[in-house]
Amino acid sequence: MGLGNPGSKYAHTRHNAGFDVVSILAERMGVSMRQYAYKAQIGQGELGGKKVLLVMPQTYMNNSGESVREMAQALRVRADQLILVYDDVDLKEGTVRVKARGSAGTHNGMRSVIYHLQTDEFTRVRVGIGKPDGDIVDYVLSEYTDKQAALETLKRAADAVETIIKDGVLEAQNRFNAPPQKTC
């Protein structure tokens, strides 16, 4: 499940990192995201021999939990079966972090999800977008300065989701939470 804001006005902004990662996964898996259910755009496919539902809530970010709860209840999905992908201003731009559980931090979309699920026991892939010097709202709702570097980060976040599904959270944490290797 990738968090973001619906509509072309917000497409490919920093705050829509979750949507962009889901779109990358959908393309890799050959999945159409044209279905609508649970207040979300959805697509179904298979990854690593497991059935996967890709979800992009069409509520605004701060109400993401409504869609997550509706989907989880309708499909009887446990919180520990969810993977949420979202932007994080508290991480350096270009960073990808995998967490098995935890607080919402400063992210209102995650606060909504935790409130509606009544638990924080779900996996998350955080995409670092860095802290702005100015207004945070303008910053998160703007496009990336270095689009190529951002695309590489979003692809790494998609790789992290694939690793979680195929090899588990611990393997993904070991692979993606380590500092980048320096090359000579």
Point out the residues that are catalytic. 15
Say which residue the tokens 């195929």 belong to: 166
Q: Is 72 helix (H, G, I), strand (E, B) or coil?
A: helix
Q: Two tokens at 140?
A: 């998160």
Two tokens, residue 160: 């992290």
Please name the helix (run of DSSP H) or strand (run of DSSP E) that holds residue 35, with its range, or none: strand 35-37
For 106, the token pair is: 């400063």
First to last CA, the chain: 37
Q: What angle do CA 4, 10, 11 make, to 5 degrees?
A: 85
Neighbours of 176 (CB within 10 A): 19
- In angstroms, the CA 88 to CA 107 distance is 7
